Amino acid sequence: MKLYLTPGSCSTGIHILLEEIGIAFEAYLVNLLAGDHQKPDFLILNPKASIPILVRDDGSVLTEFPAIAHWLARAYPKAKLLPTDLESEVRAIEIMSYVVGTIHGQGFTRIFTTDRFTPNAADYDAVKARGQEIVCEGFTILNQQLAGKKYLLEHFSIADAALFYVEFWATRINIELPAHCLAHYQQMLTRPAVQQVLREEGYRC
């Protein structure tokens, strides 16, 4: 398998899941700032010009964090990346979708790529402020979900890998994590797979 990733991005969550599974894969670095995602060879793989991309052993391509994470969990059940009962499985997908679609897609995207939301530079501060509001609202909701628990569900799951990457972003830009989210982030940092991924992507644990 091949994973197209950018260090410290949402693809870090997929990188973590691959390390948790323990399978061999090739990592291809995508320099978003240099425009690698707009090059013809990349667009053949993913016309949406986004990461992560997972090229499976049969050559088929998967894109979008939730789809890749769910496929990995179902394809490698021994890694126990999803609960075994249907109710808990859909809860994991529900949380993961909220993290990726709202906290990342509506919140952090406004902070990191402000120009997507307005052509007027005079509006940038307001757009970023709204992004931070969305992020903080999201963490508040998931903070309640984490009360009294190490992970979002009974055990580590694909939802935790998603939450980790946005928690990681928050720590990088000085957005304060609420208490249970901070404890979750610190718990994730103790996992060997997370430590390995951060080292490989050039970050200190």
CATH no. for residue 182? 1.20.1050.10
Whether the bond between 52 and the residue before it is cis, its omega within 30 degrees of 0, is yes
Distance from the Cα of residue 118 to its chain's centroid: 25
pLDDT of residue 56: 97
Half-sphere exposure of 171 (CA within 13 A, CB side): 16
The mean pLDDT value for 42-47 works out to 95
The mean pLDDT value for 80-89 works out to 96
Domain count, the chain: 2
The mean pLDDT value for 97-102 works out to 98
Considering the domain architecture, whether residues 72 and 9 belong to the same structural domain is answered as yes
Considering the domain architecture, whether residues 160 and 91 belong to the same structural domain is answered as yes
Considering the domain architecture, whether residues 49 and 96 belong to the same structural domain is answered as no
pLDDT of residue 205: 61
Considering the domain architecture, whether residues 94 and 36 belong to the same structural domain is answered as no
Taking alpha carbons only, the member of 27, 75, 35 closest to residue 52 is: 27
pLDDT of residue 93: 97
144-172 as b/e: b if 16+ CB within 10 A: ebbeeebbbbeebbbbbbbbbbbbbbbee
The CA distance from 189 to 187, in Å, is 5
**Between vectors from CA 100 to CA 97 and to CA 101, what angle results, nearest 5°?**
75
Positive or negative: CA dihedral 147, 148, 150, 153: negative
The mean pLDDT value for 156-176 works out to 98
Q: Does pLDDT of 131 surpass 70?
A: yes
The model's pLDDT over 167-183, given as tens digits with 9 standing for 90+, comes to 999 999 999 999 999 99
Q: Which domain holds residue 126?
A: 86-191
The mean pLDDT value for 192-196 works out to 98
pLDDT of residue 204: 73
In the three-class reduction of DSSP (H, G, I as helix; E, B as strand; rest coil), residue 5 is classed as: strand
CB pairs under 8 A, 24+ apart, for 114-120? none
Q: Mean pLDDT of all residues in the chain?
A: 97
Query: What percent of the chain lies above the pLDDT cut of 70?
Result: 100
Q: Does pLDDT of 53 surpass 90?
A: yes
pLDDT of residue 127: 98
Considering the domain architecture, whether residues 113 and 127 belong to the same structural domain is answered as yes
Rounded to two decimals, the pTM is 0.95
CB atoms within 10 A of CB 51: 23
pLDDT of residue 45: 94
The mean pLDDT value for 113-131 works out to 97
The model's pLDDT over 59-83, given as tens digits with 9 standing for 90+, comes to 999 999 999 999 999 999 999 999 9
